[in-house]
Structure 1
Amino acid sequence: VCVIIFWLLKMEISVGEAEKRTGKNTVNMQEIYTVYLIETRPVDAVTEGIIPAPDSLWRRYSEFELLRNYMLVTYPFVVVAPLPEKRAEIVWHKLSADNMDPDFVERRRVGLENFLLRLASHPVLCNDKIFYIFLTEEKGWKEMVYETGFQAKADSRLKAMNAAFRVKNPDKRFTELKHYSDELQTVVSQLLRVRARVADRLYGVYKVHGNYGRVFSEWSAIEKEMGDGLQSAGHHMDAYAASVDDILEEEEHYADQLKEYLFYTEALRAVCRKHELTQFELEMAAQDLASKKQQKEELVTGTVRTFSLKGMTSKLFGQETAEQREAKLQVLEQQIEEGEEAVKEKNTESDEFVKTAWVDIERFKDQKDRDLKEALISYAIMQISRCKKGIQVWTNAKECFNKM
């Protein structure tokens, strides 16, 4: 539960449960989908000893996606928290990849709650009006999002790629950040794949222990003195073999924490792409201004520095009249004035973007270091606990054998 502040209003947020529903999609076909219950409660009432029933509403995963897309476009300088995966990826082979599987839905519920708490704890995003409406108004929310016109502001992939290739003076810090993001994605992806392979082998080892249980049970049937001890040892082995499902399901929660940062890498790159686009637009404005100033100089001095079709035409068919030249000069001066204003605006926009983005990137770095350290330590503690349980099983088996 997190406390979120909207214009002096404080509230707690949680995603309480998930529910399957049946309805018709956009093409009027029946579909089964999952909705998630968002609950909010005023903090002031709780502190005063009154615990009111929480306000609640249901949201589909696609609505969470719409909220995040709105945040990405509206706050391009923010490393916006990712959503949990829509379908299970990089998992041990016995785990269901079905997005309707109850265990997967439960992990996604936890992930969606974490997403909302990430937004709620962000110093900028927590005060967004659309976010507040998402949490408090079930009807009409989508229309309000589209009314903001955020879709028209979204930069196309092609535009971003063009900027990445053509920008002449990239900011070294953002270039290094983009490379770091790529490397972090590779490392975390490899770590998750290694973990999935280890989980597969661990599953096999645990299940094979069930064979000990079967053999000890069969053996006990032909022994009089040793029978009870063998039977008891077999029960311990059966329990050990059956415990692996819960163990690996618990592991998936730690894997989900790593996956969050796997998906965060794309959010980092989105900030870098936006900076490249801002820088590219600044460079294009500056280049256009320089071109206009050169044209003015050529018009005033009557000398052409670079080859142009206009220059060749003038030589072949005669020079322009003084009146024509004066009219052109006035147009150019107006364009230069507008160009200087445009460059000034783009410079301000670029400086402001770098300033705000870098503050958020530093915030993200601190969060990442803290979260990943905690996740890795928790994972190690869980593995130690698992090994201790294994030792206990064999200790119990040893005692069974001693009593024979």
Structure 2
Amino acid sequence: MADDGEIPRKLNDEFNDDDLFASAIEIKVEAKADISLEDDRSNDLSVVEEQSNNLSAADEIDLNSDSEFKDDVDDTNAKHELRSEPEDIFEDIPEPKEVKIDATPVRPTLETSVTSPRTQSYSNYVGTTIEEEKIVPEESDKFITISVKDPQKIGDGISSFLTYNVVTRTNIGLFKKNEMTVSRRFSDFLGLHDKLAEKYLHKGRLVPAPPEKNVVGTTKVKMAGGQTEQEGKLPEFVERRRAALERYLIRTAIHPIFQVDPDFREFLECEDELPRASNTSALSGAGVLRLFNRMGETVTKIAFKMGESDPWFEERHQQLETLESQFRRLQASLEGLYSHRRELAYATAALGKGLALLSNGEDHAGLSRALAKMADLHDKLEGVHNDQSNADFYILHELIKDYLGLLGVVKDVFHERVKAFQTWQHAQQMLAKKREAVDRWESTGRSDKVAPAKDEVLEWEAKVNRSQEEFDSISKAIKKELERFDLQRVKDFKAAFISYLEAQMKAQDKIIEHWETYMPEAKAIA
């Protein structure tokens, strides 16, 4: 595992993957060519030395008078000069073996790597067309793409619910088909998360968090009717949840372990309705019990302070606390930006309506036409501002929200490590008590108690060893998971920032285009 000092360097390298590895490939090819030339050169020189040794030993030929042999030597030297001319780049390298780098696999660049979880969710809201990329967990020739589409309301009233179509495309052999479409409820997504968390969280794996429940939004959707259902439109809350569910599945599929998990594959493959996950309901008995368990764990976290022996975990904990604080401030700023752009869109629309009314009451034909065109202009600007606000929300705000959820998962994994440490310490304490009991029975001469006590000592020694192995195992797994977390975080933010800048640039181009189109109308007023 890399030490603390190497993490920032890896993160900085992620921003230059394309140039870095392109140059590495060029060096690899040139290095191979140089090695082959060195081999040819050494072979030719050995031939010349062997011939000269034979001539000097026989003492029968004068090299100064034998023009044919001189020509051969000159030709050989000329060939060496011609071959060595383009290889000046390796003059400072003592041995060709030091520049042979093809033994290290080249990491995939962004174009062949994981698609950002926002790629498929915000493409409908931003004007730019975003190409769907592959999710490559380990090997570049394996991929899986997941999209959540077509939310539909089933039933009426409080008993109604929403379903989503989950479309999966993959070439991984463990899946039954290359393309699958299944219908899932929101509770199915929560049930999938509970299954994965139960199997992997205590092992130190970062199980992505699903979207949070929203009782108010769900109730509004259930009780919605009339004009909304007739128009075939669902509230904005539904679209936000759909995008969040899609990002959740993509983030889960990125992980090489979760991707091939039987429960995850069943979720994507099984065309039948999954068993209802009743314990996911907030008002169920399991939900109330889960709430009390969380309260108990919170108290335990506050009361128990683990004496950290590994400085890596202490430093990482401080870094993650700082990162969470920065994310929360950025999220608040993005929420303000989103609301301001929404207000700007509403104000622009209101101004357009006012200009339309003013144009109807204007007697001057040229001025009336100019005002009407300006009203149309502001209607178009309203759409641009709405696109900008959607980009603020779906590209940046939701990215920050997802990573705040992941930081919560990291805290849960750290707590699992603390629980493993507590189990280990408890086993050590019990082992010490059992050994004291053996000494006490031996000192009092109670031979009938000594044998059972020694058996208990052996049992607790095994528990101590097993607990220590579990603690070391979860510590190692957490380090590996956090390394993946850092690399993926850089990729996600890089892709999101690029997409966000492209969306803002396109919005500004549209604004300029709309105003330039209007300029002739303003100049035509006489």
TM-score, normalising length: structure 1: 0.75
Amino acid at match of 2:152: E
Q: Aligned residue for 1:329?
A: 450
> 1:82: which partner in 2?
209
Tell me whether 230-239 or 136-145 shows the greater mean CA deviation: 136-145
Partner of 1:304: none
Partner of 1:113: 246
AA of the residue aligned to 2:370: G
Q: 1:144 to 1:62 in 2, by over 3 A?
A: closer
The one-letter code matched in structure 2 to 1:35 is: T
1:44 and 1:261, CA in 2 relative to 1: closer, same or farther beyond 3 A? Answer: closer
Q: Does 1:339 align with 2:466?
A: no
Aligned with residue 35 of structure 1, among 145, 157, 163: 163
Residue 253 in structure 1 maps to residue 386 in structure 2: no
1:233 pairs, out of 349, 371, 374, with 374
Letter in 2 for 1:387: Q
Tell me the CA shift for residue 268 of structure 1: 1.0
Name the counterpart of 1:204.
343
- Report percent identity of matched pairs: 22
Deviations 1:343-402 (A, max 9, x none): 101011111111222212211111112102221332233233333433444444444322
CA drift of 1:97 comes to: 10
Q: Contact 2:338 / 2:393 at 8 angstroms: preserved in 1?
A: no
Contact 1:3 1:43 in 2 (8 A): no
The verdict on how the C-alpha distance between 1:139 and 1:175 changes in structure 2, with shifts beyond 3 A counting, is: farther
What does residue range 147-226 of structure 1 map to in structure 2 within 5 Å? 156-157=293-294, 158-159=296-297, 161-162=299-300, 165-170=303-308, 171-210=310-349, 212-214=351-353, 216-217=355-356, 218=358, 221-226=362-367
1:144-191 CA-to-partner distances (Å, cap 9, x unmatched) read 999xxxx9xx99432575266335423443344444444433322322
2:510 aligned to which of 377, 380, 389: 389
Return closer, same or farther for 1:222/1:281 CA change in 2, 3 Å cut-off.
same
Q: Does 1:268 align with 2:410?
A: yes
Moved more, 203-212 or 128-137: 203-212
User: What's the offset of the Cα at 1:403?
Assistant: 2.2
Question: Kindly tell me: are residues 369 and 164 of structure 1, through their superposed partners in 2, closer, same or farther at Cα, counting changes over 3 Å?
Answer: farther
Q: Distance in 1 between matches of 2:274 and 2:347?
A: 53
Higher strand share goes to which structure?
1
Q: CA distance change for structure 1 residues 84 and 99 in 2, over 3 Å: closer, same or farther?
A: farther
CA distance in 2, matches of 1:225, 1:140: 64
Shift in Å, 1:300: 5.0
Unaligned stretches of 5+ in structure 1?
24-28, 46-51, 90-94, 302-321
Distance 1:205 1:179, change over 3 A: same
Q: Which amino acid aligns with 2:394?
A: H
- State the alpha-carbon separation in 2 of the partners of residues 391 and 280 from structure 1: 63
Write the distance in 2 (CA, Å) between the matches of 1:56 and 1:182. 40
Task: Check 1:362–1:395 CA distance in 2 against 1; reply closer, same or farther (3 A cut).
Answer: same
Mapped partners of 2:380, 2:276: distance in 1: 54
The CA distance in 2 between the partners of 1:223 and 1:290, in whole Å, is 100
Q: Which residue of 2 aligns with 1:380?
A: 501
Distance in 1 (CA, whole Å) between partners of 2:379 and 2:276 is: 56
Question: Any idea what SS the aligned residue of 2:159 has?
Answer: strand
Decide whether aligned partners of structure 1 residues 372 and 225 sit closer, same or farther in structure 2, where only a CA change above 3 A counts.
Answer: closer
The Cα shift of 1:78 comes to 1.2
Of the candidates 185, 190, 193, which is equivalent to residue 65 of structure 1?
Answer: 190
Larger mean Cα displacement after TM superposition, 199-208 or 353-362: 199-208
Does the Cα contact within 8 Å between 2:346 and 2:382 map onto a contact in 1?
yes
**Which whole-Å deviations, capped at 9, do the CAs of 1:110-160 have from their partners, x for residues lacking one?**
3323322322231111221121222222447438999xxxx9xx9943257
Read off the aligned partner of 2:498 and give its amino acid letter: I
Which segments of 5 or more consecutive residues in structure 2 lack a partner in the other structure? 1-131, 223-233, 280-285
> 1:11, 1:43 within 8 Å by CA — same for their partners in 2?
yes
The question of 1:131 aligning with 2:252 is answered: no
CA 1:44–1:359 in 2, change beyond 3 Å: closer, same or farther? closer
3-state SS of 1:20 partner? strand
**Contact 2:420–2:471 (CA under 8 A) maintained in structure 1:** yes
Partners of 1:178 and 1:268 within 8 A in 2: no
What is the count of residue pairs matched by the alignment?
Answer: 359
Q: Quick one: distance in 2 between partners of 1:44 and 1:361? A: 26
The structure whose Rg is larger is: 2
Query: Does the 8 Å contact 1:160/1:274 carry over to 2?
Result: no
Give deviations 1:192-217, integer Å, cap 9, x for gaps. 22222222223333433345445544
SS of equivalent to 1:18: strand
Structure 1 counterpart of 2:249, which letter?
L
Evaluate the alpha carbon distance shift between residue 160 and residue 330 of structure 1 in structure 2; reply closer, same or farther with a 3 A threshold.
farther
SS of residue matched to 1:56: strand
Give the TM-score taking structure 2 as reference length: 0.59
